[in-house]
Amino acid sequence: MFQPDLLSGKRILVTGGGTGLGKSMGKRFVELGAELLICGRRENVLAETAAELGKISNRAVRTHSIDIRDPDGVERMMDWAFADGAIDILVNNAAGNFIAKTETLSHRAVDSVLGIVLHGTTYCTLAAGRRWIEAKHKGVILSILATYAWTGSPFVVPSAMAKAGVLALMQSLAVEWGGKGIRTVSIAPGPFPTKGAWDRLVPPAMADRWEKAGPMKRVGEHIELANLAAYLVSDMADYINGDCITIDGGRWLQGASMFHHLSALTEEQWAAMRPKKS
């Protein structure tokens, strides 16, 4: 689908790049020629991923352990990432989330999700953007959202609040920084199985229902999201700025549409409802 050198010469930092969707995007980026930097909280996980992805890259994958809730730590990470020359692309992928009845959430529970998703993403975005603006270097910021960024969602309320905030951040900066050569894009994925998300978000008794929902009755494959990410961060998408692309098989539209339950009607039921010719 892509030229093998689509991302050649691009230096990309992926937050939460050691596991899940961050790892899948990182893999696709190096396959397409990018130099990859990944960060996350667990040094051993980062090292394992770097070793694995380093085998398909012509350069070592570099790692930095960090909790992006720490703004000083984010500044130190960006000093590290920009030390040998500017990065070209920041992927805001690191997230935290769990299902809970909202009235049971403690302050610390709310803060943990907002801290990672809203504050951490903002710290990373500003730290990279400031450096790009100062150096007059072009940059791309890709943020991974969720389709409930614009609908809200029960039972994951701090995540919905945070993703909505990140969408606003991306849209705002598209305008404020677009003229400075910095482009922002977002992806709103539906369900793409990862251990981190499934352990926290899918009650085992509901896994089948969750995985078979939506018009296409399936979940996403990582390569589908990774290819979209590769396109959006590439120069081929240079005129896409501030937009958020949904990749969910039409699932959120089904949830929002008034008559989606009619998919369950049989041909006989449809036939029985047709007006009779007199």
Binding part of the chain for ligand HXC, among 25-33, 70-78, 105-113, 167-175 by CB under 6 A, reads: 105-113
Can residue 197 be called a binding residue for ligand HXC (CB under 6 A)?
yes
Binding part of the chain for ligand HXC, among 76-84, 92-100, 175-183, 269-277 by CB under 6 A, reads: 92-100
Report the alpha-carbon angle 52-112-61, nearest 5.
20
Out of 109, 216, 240, 247, name the contact with ligand HXC by CB under 6 A: 109
Out of 95, 128, 167, 182, name the contact with ligand HXC by CB under 6 A: 95
Binding flags for ligand HXC, 15-34, as an x/- string (CB under 6 A): --------------------
Out of 106, 263, 266, 278, name the contact with ligand HXC by CB under 6 A: 106
Question: Could you give phi then psi for residue 184, rounded to 5 degrees?
Answer: -120, 140
- The answer to whether the beta carbons of residues 25 and 229 sit under 8 Å apart is yes
Out of 2, 98, 210, 231, name the contact with ligand HXC by CB under 6 A: 98
Out of 100, 126, 245, 247, name the contact with ligand HXC by CB under 6 A: 100
Q: How far is the CB of 248 from ligand HXC (least distance, A)?
A: 8
DSSP result, 176-227: HHHTTTEEEEEEEE-----HHHHHHH--GGGHHHHHT-TTTTS---HHHHHH
Catalytic, 123? Answer no
Amino acid identity of 40? G
Q: Which is nearer to ligand HXC, 95 or 244 (CB)?
A: 95
Pairing mode, strands 11-15 and 139-144: unpaired
Can residue 97 be called a binding residue for ligand HXC (CB under 6 A)?
yes
Instruction: Name every residue whose Cβ is closer than 8 Å to that of residue 80 and which is 6 or more positions away in sequence.
Output: 64
Question: Could you give phi then psi for residue 134, rounded to 5 degrees?
Answer: -60, -40
Can residue 146 be called a binding residue for ligand HXC (CB under 6 A)?
yes
Can residue 196 be called a binding residue for ligand HXC (CB under 6 A)?
yes
Out of 55, 108, 136, 274, name the contact with ligand HXC by CB under 6 A: 108
For 272, counting Cβ atoms within 10 Å of its Cβ (0-12 exposed, 13-18 middle, 19+ buried), the class is exposed
Binding part of the chain for ligand HXC, among 80-88, 100-108, 121-129, 215-223 by CB under 6 A, reads: 100-108
Alpha helices in the chain (DSSP H): 20-31, 43-54, 71-82, 107-113, 121-135, 148-151, 157-178, 195-201, 207-211, 222-233, 251-256, 267-273
Can residue 159 be called a binding residue for ligand HXC (CB under 6 A)?
yes
Can residue 96 be called a binding residue for ligand HXC (CB under 6 A)?
yes
Q: How far is the CB of 144 from ligand HXC (least distance, A)?
A: 8
Give the H/E segment covering residue 91.
strand 89-92
How many residues of this chain bind ligand HXC (CB under 6 A)?
Answer: 18
Query: Can you name the residues that pair with 36 across neighbouring β-strands?
Result: 12
Active site residue ranges:
148
- Binding residues for ligand HXC, per CB under 6 A? 95-98, 100, 106, 108-109, 112-113, 146, 159, 190-191, 196-197, 200-201
